Amino acid sequence: MPQAPLPDEMNVYQNAEARFEVAAQKLGLEQGLYRYLKYPKKEITLYIPVGMDNGQLEVFTGYRVLHSTVRGPGKGGIRFAPDVSLDEVRALATWMTWKCGVVNIPFGGAKGGIICDPRKLSKGELERLTRRYTAELADWLGPERDVPAPDIGTGEQVMAWVMDTYSMHVGEATTAVVTGKPIELGGSRGRREATGRGVMICCDKALAKLGIKKEGCRVVIQGFGNVGSLAAQLMQAAGYKIIGLADVGGGLYNERGFDVPKVIDWVYTQKKPLPEFPGGGTKMSARDVLFQPCEIAIPAAIENQITEQNAHQVQARILCEGANGPTTWQADAIVDSKGIFTVPDILGNAGGVTVSYFEWVQDRQGFFWRESEVNDRLLDVMESAFDGVVRYAEAHKVNNRIAAYMLAIDRVASALKLRGIYA
Ligand code: GLU
């Protein structure tokens, strides 16, 4: 197996590759399988024309990368953000394959993205952009082919448009083509909270493992979107003390702890900037929130937040990754050397895709579960995935991240061997 060069620290695809290389090497993955799993199955760049509200025609660039369908249909979100790139979408698609492997659900991995700033688009423009993107991908998508979901910059409404556009193309209402939909359209109870709930389950397990009490346990969270805000809300309700919060506008630290529902009301109902939340606290950059003294730090925003330059500043006992790729390859070693217990992204944020799997199952059955049923099943999946990763790490004397990759790659490679290569 070739020795990979050190990744360019800020290139997420190279970061994903570097971890794959180490895990594949440790597994002794045979050359052919290594080559097969290293590259995506297919990828597409789309130039998407959209009639804007001002009468102009704009063309947006979008991508869909299908990394693997070895264990089931491709699965993974669609991101709308100004800095989306093909390399980023590739990395995210690859991570989806390993994430679904870690939690052992029957999906491969995929991801999509469009370079745009959704906050600057009207609802009509967003709808036309989403519909044209979906229409261009109509032959790629499908409940048995590739099943999108929300990611940064997209949510239930965008998923509803994806479902509708796809359904119009195939001539039948196909709810299982996409997950993260509104409940009225075949969405699952508990899906909205699922990633945050999964983060909390991992934190509960990590505390139990390290023998730390939950009551009063100090938590800082970077990111106040679907993952961060719901993790904060659920964790505070469960007895954690949320002392640091941050979103794109900046961070706020208050050692007395935040009343999270009030912050959610401030940001989401009153539409005010998070750092201006009344009730005190020290303003700081969104990144600095992660470096405050605490038991648990949760990066739940974007990639490359903990780097070689700043990793030594992390003061947490536990790093639980709610975002995809928040810690760079170079930072991993520093975090490890500080003895920080890491819950890697492909485990920490896997609650979302796990309930996406439940949504897909419910849509295909046409039979919908109670919220408590969804949450119980999520707990089962996350707890056994956590135990599996920690056991694997201890048995193979590797860190949790490499253990998670090894476990996932091994599962995908075994399935691939059983299927054989159609070549
Ligand atoms: N975008 C989410 C993730 O990165 C959810 C993917 C899904 O539910 O398919 O895990």
| Ligand 1 nearest-atom number relative to CA 92 | 4
Residue 6 has a pLDDT of: 81
Rounded-to-integer distance, Cα 299 and Cα 343, Å: 11
- Give residues with Cβ within 8 angstroms of 255, minimum separation 6: 218, 243
Using CA atoms, how far residue 149 sits from 186, 328, 348, in Å, is 13, 25, 18
Rounded-to-integer distance, Cα 164 and Cα 176, Å: 11
* Angle between helix 329-337 and 12-27 (nearest 10): 60
Angle at 271 between CA 268 and CA 277, to 5 degrees: 90
DSSP conformational letter for 275? G
pLDDT-flagged residues of the chain (< 70): 1-5
Residue 14 has a pLDDT of: 94
**Do the beta carbons of residue 221 and residue 200 sit within 8 Å?**
no
Q: Which of 41, 75, 99, 111 is catalytic?
A: 111
SS3 375: helix
Residue 99 annotated as catalytic: no
Rounded-to-integer distance, Cα 185 and Cα 223, Å: 28
CB atoms within 10 A of CB 346: 31
Residue 379 has a pLDDT of: 99
The residue whose CA has the least distance to atom 7 of ligand 1 is 353
Tell me: the pLDDT tens digits for 190-246? 999 999 999 999 999 999 999 999 998 999 999 999 999 999 999 999 999 999 999
Residue 93 has a pLDDT of: 98
Determine the distance separating the centroid of ligand 1 and the alpha carbon of 2, expressed in angstroms. Answer: 31
- Give the residue among 34, 108, 102, 36 at the shortest CA–CA distance from 65: 108
Residue of 71, 79, 96, 154 to test ligand 1 pocket, by largest number of atoms within 8 Å of CB = 96
SS3 290: helix
Residue 3 has a pLDDT of: 58
Beta-strand pair 42-51/57-68: antiparallel
Residue 1 has a pLDDT of: 54
**Residue 232, Ramachandran bin (φ over 0: left; ψ between -120 and 50: alpha; else beta):** alpha
Residue 279 has a pLDDT of: 82
Residue of 92, 147, 151 to test ligand 1 pocket, by largest number of atoms within 8 Å of CB = 151
Residue 166 has a pLDDT of: 98
Determine the distance separating the centroid of ligand 1 and the alpha carbon of 353, expressed in angstroms. Answer: 5
Determine the distance separating the centroid of ligand 1 and the alpha carbon of 95, expressed in angstroms. Answer: 10
